[in-house]
Amino acid sequence: MRVSVLDQSPIPEGLGGPDALRNTVDLARLADRLGYHRYWVAEHHGGPMLAGPAPEVLIGVLASATAGIRVGSGGVMLPHYSPLKVAESFSLLSGLFPERIDLALGRAPGTDPLTTYALQRDRRQASPDDFPQQLAELLGYLDDSLPAEHPFARLATTLPGRPYVPDVWLLGSSAQSAIWAGQLGLPYAFADFINPEGAALADSYREHFAADHEGIPSTTAVGVWAICADTDEQAQYLAASSRMSMRMLRQGQLIQVPPPDKAVRYLESIGQSVDSGWTPGRRGIIGSPERVRAGLEAVADEYGAEEVIVVTITYDHEARRHSYELIAEAIGLEPRPGGDLTTAGSGAL
């Protein structure tokens, strides 16, 4: 089982975006040394909690700061962009960092409707829901497979990173994304931390893949929310920050990641104990190394996934680092040479 990282660049209460981004660079360096397979950064807009609106910018910094780990988007929200611009940006990254760049694509806006509208270049009307057409055009540029009569066909040969191109993935948490990924023969990453009822959709992906791409192996990854600490009690305490943030989000209130003490008081005020379970409708794997390892393996088995991509949000950056360190040790990841695993993270670039 491969194990990877999805970093949403959380902003702790009292700090700012630059602090969160420095923490992201620091965590990527640690993940590289620990032996994680890939490091993806997310795209979110218009909120105070997450500092990652432009993964294509952050990826170049992270790839420069690391040596062996794959780096990519988890994901680029394609409806906001021109397929050609995305192809050019990720071709450039692939040329600079050959065989290390992933382009995982999503259909969701990654924000609220007003911010989605603000991101539009043409605001005379709502953008069309044409994700399949956008995706086909993007793949045509990267694969140089646009029909000769296509008006943009020649542009595929101008991508600056050729012959290198990113590995393209499709993200999803619904039935339609599984179908598209299977039909197109793309690797598929399912967001269990959004929809924990996706095992049947992963099966659907593989069925559509096999039907259209006989003899070629499919690739399934599952994104899982997890927090690991030395004890179950410590992990539940750290998880209180995310539980409060998610509950406030459901009430339409966007906040920075609160300190655990504050989050515990909030949860108690609404009749929730620290160990009363994860956010309703969501799955979190929270606990000691043994518990988290077993939980990750169980989810991977449930989805038939070859890879688990771990999402962790804590108020304290050192706690997040320690969580990934414990998971790496529990899973038995092989450290990459060239780094000192005992170095504490300062958060500095």
Q: Rounded to an integer, what is the distance from CA 169 to the centroid of its chain?
A: 11
pLDDT of residue 338: 59
Q: What is the mean pLDDT of the chain?
A: 93
pLDDT of residue 172: 94
Contact yes or no for 36/70 (Cβ under 8 A): no
Q: Is residue 252 part of a domain?
A: no
The label of the residue with tokens 């409806």 reads 79
How many domains, the chain?
1
Any idea what the CATH number is for the domain that residue 18 is in? 3.20.20.30
Residue 163 falls inside a structural domain: yes
Q: Is 95 exposed, middle or buried (0-12, 13-18, 19+ CB in 10 A)?
A: middle
What is the pLDDT, as a whole number, of residue 275?
77
54, 83 contact by CB (below 8 A): no
Q: Give the whole-angstrom CA distance, residue 211 versus residue 232.
A: 44
Residues of the chain with pLDDT under 50: 339-349
DSSP structural state of residue 187: -
**107 is in which domain, residue-wise?**
2-236+286-331
Interval 284-317: pLDDT, tens = 999 999 999 999 999 999 999 999 999 999 999 9
What local confidence, expressed as pLDDT, does residue 342 receive?
42
pLDDT of residue 291: 97
pLDDT of residue 282: 85
Query: For the purposes of burial, counting CB atoms within 10 Å of the CB of 102, is it exposed (0-12), middle (13-18) or buried (19 or more)?
Result: buried
Q: What is the pLDDT of residue 347?
A: 38
Per-residue pLDDT reduced to its tens digit, 229-261 = 999 999 999 999 999 999 998 898 999 999 999
Strand, coil or helix: what is 284? strand
62 domain residue, yes or no: yes
Assess contact for 110 and 77: CB atoms under 8 A: yes
pTM above 0.85, yes or no: yes
Question: What integer pLDDT is reported at residue 306 of this predicted model?
Answer: 98
Does a structural domain hold residue 265? no
Q: Kindly state whether residue 136 falls inside one of the protein's structural domains.
A: yes
Could you tell me which residues come within 8 angstroms of residue 33 by beta carbon, excluding any fewer than 6 positions away?
335, 336, 338, 339, 340, 341
Task: Report CA-CA distances (Å) from 125 to 109, 117, 119, 120, 121.
Answer: 16, 9, 13, 9, 10
To which H or E segment does residue 104 belong? Answer: strand 101-106
